[in-house]
Amino acid sequence: MEWHSILDIMAAEQELVPKEFYDLVDRFIHLANDLTRDHATSRISSVILYAAARYNAHCLLALDPEAAQNRAVAADYFVEQYCSMLNENIDALMHASSRPHPNAGAADPGASRPT
């Protein structure tokens, strides 16, 4: 399978994002939040980035028999996707934080954790 075919499949999957996708995302976020009890948030952020890079490298090698030749295209794709998702989440969290919180004024020990 050529890398552009894989990219087409991944792009098509993103168009139809099922609820279970976000349920899986929430599971990772909950794990990250649990880990921040024993590790700094910045450490957990770095761990997540490294894990994503390692897993995506595995996916490239597992799915593309010409991974060496398509490495730069794949890396560009993953970087583009990360930037898009990061900006989407920054916008969403900024929008959410601009609305009054139902527990405004109450102490929130997890306030610095991702939601």
Identify the pLDDT of residue 7: 57
Residue type, 32: A
Tell me, what amino acid is at 4?
Answer: H
Percent of the chain with pLDDT over 90: 63
pTM of the full structure: 0.70
HSE-up of 69 (CA within 13 Å, CB side)? 7
CA distances from 41 to 32, 35, 86 (A): 8, 8, 17
93-108 residue pLDDT tens: 999 888 776 655 544 4
Please report, for the chain, the start and end positions of each structural domain, with discontinuous segments joined by +. 30-98
Instruction: State how far the Cα of 113 lies from the Cα of 115, in Å rounded to an integer.
Output: 6
3-state secondary structure of 41: helix
